[in-house]
Copies of this chain bind each other. A is one copy, B any other.
Amino acid sequence: MERLIIIGGGAAGMTAASWARRLKPNMDITVFESTKMVSHAPCGIPYFTEGLFDDENLFMTYTPEYFVEKRKINVKINSKVEEVDLRSRTLTVRENQGNKKYEFDYLLLSTGAKPKKLNAEGDRIFYVHHPADASYIRQKLWSFDKIAIIGGGILGIEMAEALRARGKKLVLIHRGKYLLNKMLDEDMGKIITDKVGSEIELKLNESLISVTERGRLIVTDKGKYEVDATVVAIGVEPNVDLVKDQLKIGETGAIWADNHMRTSIENVYAAGDSTESINIITKKPDWVPFAPVANKMGFVAGNNIGGKDVTFPGVIETMITKFEEYVIAKTGITENEAKRHNIKTVSATVHHKTRARYYPGSKDIIVKLIAEANTMRIIGAQIIGEEEVLGRLNMMAAVIQKGFTAEELFFVETGYVPPVNRVWDVVTLAARKLYTGISAE
């Protein structure tokens, strides 16, 4: 009987396990998960911290028992893989009863990402990453009054929303010139920066020097902040320590894999946040540690392990977050990134509304589209709005992935009904501006 071992029971690992099981009903499939949760994703932690729900089991799409009973997958929680030998195809796992050795025919590395750490220690320093820690962190954070958030990326602003809603006094310290500067161009990022800055204390362009006093004293190149606790949200990195000397690591620092999620070692696969991919636009290695990509990589790995030839098309870096009433999204590349890749671009931005002029409750929506100048293919989109952002984002992801020109996007037969749109959709208008070069009303 073929043995598949999966290290990491997050989105990618459990998706792969499920698809391998469907295709190979007799395969022996074991998942080792170091925490008590599987099929989890950290995306819900800010909303749990905000107090929008209390049951931490809701972080899991399915429970370990579900996988064991319904899908005949051996899920071992609280089981940390201590050592892997890819050559002898064995691994050592620390389980409740002590260390145990396993052999595999197929291995999937879905070890995920881990938060980047400060060079500082203290019981008032909190990293928000794994749902298994969410209850502890929430209980702690709720007990403090003044909290610093280090980092103005997606997690930073989500935690800012959450802690502000809990009535905390916040200071958000960010190294960049504006918030979400890895996700948005400055013109769009400025809108969010102004919004967040109108509600909480914002320190931009500040580099961290030290966090001391157990997490209660922050010193930057511009100031000192005394707080009760520090939340660190300075990004994540691929969790590859277990295998990094035994297989090819890509230039992003994540595990290299081909478009079948095969690593450089035969029958060893990688999927999810631990894994590098290729950017469809730049054709360069890229690393996108978000759940939808992890799930699809897991699908591809599971199918290929199961014997079905399925190809992962690469990534375009779709991102979406929310700060209070603003949903903020991007897909494809920004103008900033395009410059770094020497891609000449043109862009068009349209401020519009989500409902007909006369229909009550109309909200703002802003769309920025970016096209490659010589082909006029759409390569990036940034959207900020109070409703109907998600669908337009996904539309733009489809458009970018398939290489629509601005003209083709303009001519998409969009829908119109007054309660949910304007007759010229904001995306159509932005495409028209790119296509015609005319900024018509």
Residues of A within 8 A of B (CB): 11, 18, 22, 41, 43-44, 47-48, 52-53, 55, 58-59, 61, 288, 290-293, 295-296, 299, 312-313, 315-322, 327, 329, 331, 356-360, 387-395, 397-399, 401-402, 404, 408-421, 423-425, 427-428, 432, 438, 440
B416 x A43 contact (CB < 8 A): yes
Instruction: List 24 contacting pairs A-B, 8 Å CB cutoff, sorted by A.
Output: A43-B418, A47-B418, A59-B358, A61-B357, A292-B415, A292-B423, A295-B423, A296-B410, A296-B413, A318-B413, A320-B417, A321-B417, A331-B413, A387-B388, A389-B391, A390-B420, A394-B412, A394-B425, A394-B427, A395-B398, A397-B415, A398-B399, A398-B404, A402-B404
Q: Is the CB of A415 within 8 A of B318?
A: yes
Contact present for A47 and B415 (CB under 8 Å): no
Contacts of A423 in B (CB 8 A): 11, 41, 43, 61, 291-292, 295
B415 and A319 contact, CB distance less than 8 A: yes
Cα distance, A438 to B113, chains bound together (Å): 30
Contacts of A53 in B (CB 8 A): 358-360
Q: B397 touching A52 by the CB < 8 A rule? A: no
Question: How many chain copies does the complex carry?
Answer: 2
Closest Cβ–Cβ distance, residue A140 to chain B (whole Å): 20
Residues of chain B lying within 8 A (CB to CB) of residue A41: 423
Instruction: Tell whether, in the assembled complex, residue A320 and residue B358 are in contact, meaning their CB atoms are under 8 Å apart.
Output: no
Report yes or no: A356 in contact with B393, Cβ–Cβ below 8 A: no
Q: Which residues of B contact A47 (CB under 8 A)?
A: 356, 358-359, 418-419
Determine how close the nearest CB of chain B comes to the CB of A399; give it in whole angstroms. 6
Given A331-B413, A397-B415, list of 14 further CB < 8 A pairs? A44-B359, A47-B356, A52-B358, A53-B358, A291-B423, A292-B423, A292-B424, A296-B411, A316-B413, A320-B416, A322-B419, A390-B415, A392-B395, A395-B395
| Distance to closest chain B CB from A238 (angstroms) | 18
